[in-house]
């Protein structure tokens, strides 16, 4: 069938194209503040400045980590470049008691939780296994297995509901992050079903950055992703993922519904991955420069800066001070990464199981003997 015929046949069956960016927006790419009937939200001048500050610091930290990888100091890095607004907007909408289930790219959300950005870098440097106490930070561990965290989040959300922590204005809520590619995983669809039928207090936050490594969005879906929610029986909304104000407003609203017992919702933050999938990837192999340039014009930081300047909420001194602070934080991060001690090789056997295992003990013993065989050989 010719392309036009396919489009006509799909239209007849009521199937809409996946690529229509109709979304909630409160700040245009030119820095104009616009209203939305469903998401009225007021920010003080200080709150506007704080959001700008977070966006800049998060981008700077990310750039430092990319540089560290290029210099051989990290094994790999998954950059969030371009997705700062999606992460800062949603991260700042969270309350202290809300629980976060991230992927491997949520460095901006982690920062907004008040967590030291060094925390996940041991994983990317290969000096630890990327573990921490999720309860201490209300921030689960980075999850590399695509979509798996949506099921963990659903179980957790069902748990807090059973514990009676949901159903009032100061109830708790859960947010699960995932990408556009993850929506094709069974886990994510199972999480949608379970959350829906058990009315779990969860916000599914999909950062649609248009690619799953080299696979474009059109290989994942025939309908806009947020519309998937309808079929599972909960609301879905698409937000301009490069608009920190709109992301904040939409996420806060969805979290409030969840904490008050209204059940799950899906947010599709429509954004773009400006960098590579990870530092192991070369995006020039599968996408054209003009596409990247078009998204450059929708940059999440430029529009806030334009707005702050035009409204005289911030001046050149403020912007310079934020840049300087971001630089200082990044330099400090670099110094601490370089100082991370190399672990003893047999440490890999620690923390595999909470209480160990005889098989693991045997493997450790064999490995230690093998390592000892090099002693004195100059290797
Ligand atoms: C279950 C599983 N299958 C495959 C992979 C390999 N993989 C790593 S990232 C990725 C793409 C994920 O794309 P998306 O969900 O859009 O998230 P993004 O990386 O764009 O943030 C894949 C397929 C994996 N980690 N886990
Ligand atoms: Mg993606």
| pLDDT tens per residue, range 22-42 | 899 999 999 999 999 999 889
Task: Determine the pLDDT at residue 40.
Answer: 87
Residue whose CA is closest, atom 12 of ligand 1?
Answer: 212
Closest residue by Cα to residue 79 from 248, 278, 223, 237: 278
Q: Ligand 1 pocket test: which of 62, 213, 225, 271 has the largest number of ligand atoms within 8 Å of its C-beta?
A: 213
Backbone dihedral region of 210: left (phi > 0), alpha (psi from -120 to 50 degrees) or beta? Answer: left
- Residue 287 is among the residues annotated as catalytic for this protein: no
Residue 176, beta-bridge partner list: 101, 204
Cβ of 182 below 6 Å from ligand 1: yes
Nearby residues of 125 by Cβ (< 8 Å), 6 or more positions away:
73, 74, 75, 337, 340
Ligand 1 nearest atom to the CA of residue 179, by list position: 15
Q: Cα separation of 296 and 189, whole Å? A: 32
Q: How many helices (H) and strands (E) does the chain have?
A: 14, 7
Indicate whether this model's pTM tops 0.85.
yes
Find the 274 Cα to ligand 2 centroid distance in Å: 11
Instruction: Specify the DSSP class assigned to residue 15.
Output: P
Half-sphere exposure at residue 112, Cβ-oriented, CA atoms within 13 angstroms: 31
Give dist(CA 264, CA 255) in Å, integer.
9
| Distance separating alpha carbons of residues 287 and 210, to the nearest angstrom | 11
Quote the CA–CA distance of 240 and 64 in Å, as a whole number: 26
C-beta separation of 148 from 187 below 8 A: yes
Q: Which of 8, 10, 286, 327 is catalytic?
A: 286
Q: What is the pLDDT of residues 170-204, one digit of tens each?
A: 999 999 999 999 999 999 999 999 999 999 999 99
C-alpha of 75 from chain center:
20
Does ligand 1 lie within 6 Å of residue 212's CB atom? yes
Enter the DSSP assignment of 322.
Answer: H
Asked if 254 and 188 count as a contact pair (C-beta separation under 8 A), the reply is: no
> Measured between alpha carbons, how far is 171 from 165 in angstroms, rounded to an integer?
5
User: 105 CB under 6 A from ligand 1?
Assistant: yes
Pairing mode, strands 211-212 and 202-208:
unpaired
Which one of 107, 238, 252, 277 is the catalytic residue?
Answer: 277
pLDDT number for residue 18: 47
Residue 318 CB neighbour total at 10 angstroms? 15
Strands of 128-263, DSSP E: 174-179, 202-208, 211-212, 215-216, 236-240
Instruction: For the chain, list residues with pLDDT below 70.
Output: 1-21, 378-379
Q: What is the pLDDT of residue 1?
A: 52
Please work out whether the CB of residue 107 comes within 6 Å of at least one atom of ligand 1.
no
Phi-psi region of 164 (alpha: psi -120 to 50; beta: other; left: phi over 0): left
Three-state SS at 236: strand
Q: Which atom of ligand 1 is nearest to the CA of 148?
A: 1
Has 277 been annotated as catalytic?
yes
What are the DSSP E strand ranges found in 125-210?
174-179, 202-208
Q: How far apart are CA 16 and CA 57, in angstroms?
A: 39
Tell how far the Cα of 118 is from the centroid of ligand 1, in angstroms: 23
Residue whose tokens read 């001046």: 315
DSSP percent split of the chain into helix, strand, coil, nearest 5:
50, 10, 40
Atom of ligand 1 nearest to the CA of 183: 15
Q: What angle do CA 128, 276, 229 make, to 5 degrees?
A: 90
For residue 185, give the ligand 1 atom closest to its CA.
1
């Amino acid at each position: 069938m010719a392309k036009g015929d396919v489009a006509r046949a799909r239209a007849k069956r009521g199937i809409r194209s996946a690529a229509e960016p109709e979304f909630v927006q409160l700040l245009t790419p030119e820095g104009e503040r616009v209203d939305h009937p469903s998401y009225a939200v007021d920010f003080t001048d200080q709150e506007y400045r704080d959001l700008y500050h977070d966006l800049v610091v998060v981008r700077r930290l990310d750039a430092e980590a990319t540089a560290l990888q290029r210099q051989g100091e990290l094994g790999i890095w998954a950059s969030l470049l371009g997705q700062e607004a999606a992460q800062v907007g949603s991260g700042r909408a969270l309350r202290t008691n809300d629980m976060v289930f991230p992927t491997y790219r949520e460095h901006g959300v982690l920062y907004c939780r008040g967590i030291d950005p060094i925390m996940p870098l041991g994983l990317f440097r290969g000096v630890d296994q990327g573990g921490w106490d999720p309860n201490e930070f209300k921030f689960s561990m980075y999850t590399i297995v695509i979509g798996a965290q949506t099921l963990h989040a659903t179980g957790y959300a069902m748990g807090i509901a059973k514990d009676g922590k949901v159903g009032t204005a100061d109830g708790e809520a859960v947010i699960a992050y995932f990408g556009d590619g993850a929506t094709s995983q069974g886990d994510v669809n199972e999480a949608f079903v379970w959350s829906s039928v058990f009315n779990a207090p969860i916000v599914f936050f999909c950062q649609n950055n248009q690619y799953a490594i080299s696979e474009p969005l059109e290989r994942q879906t025939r309908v806009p992703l947020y519309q998937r929610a309808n079929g599972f029986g909960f609301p879905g909304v698409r937000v301009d993922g490069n608009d920190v104000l709109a992301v904040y407003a939409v996420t806060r609203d969805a979290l409030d519904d969840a904490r008050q017992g209204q059940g799950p919702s899906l947010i599709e933050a429509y954004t773009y991955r400006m960098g590579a999938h990870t530092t192991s990837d070369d995006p020039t192999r599968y996408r054209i420069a003009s596409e990247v340039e078009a998204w450059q014009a929708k940059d999440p930081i430029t529009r806030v800066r334009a707005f702050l300047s035009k409204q005289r909420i911030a001046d050149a001194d403020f912007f310079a001070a934020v840049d300087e602070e971001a630089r200082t934080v990044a330099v400090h991060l670099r110094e601490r990464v370089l100082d991370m001690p190399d672990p003893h090789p047999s440490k890999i056997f620690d923390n595999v199981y909470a209480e160990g295992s005889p098989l693991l003990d045997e493997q450790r013993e064999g490995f230690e003997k093998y390592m000892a065989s090099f002693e004195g050989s100059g290797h």
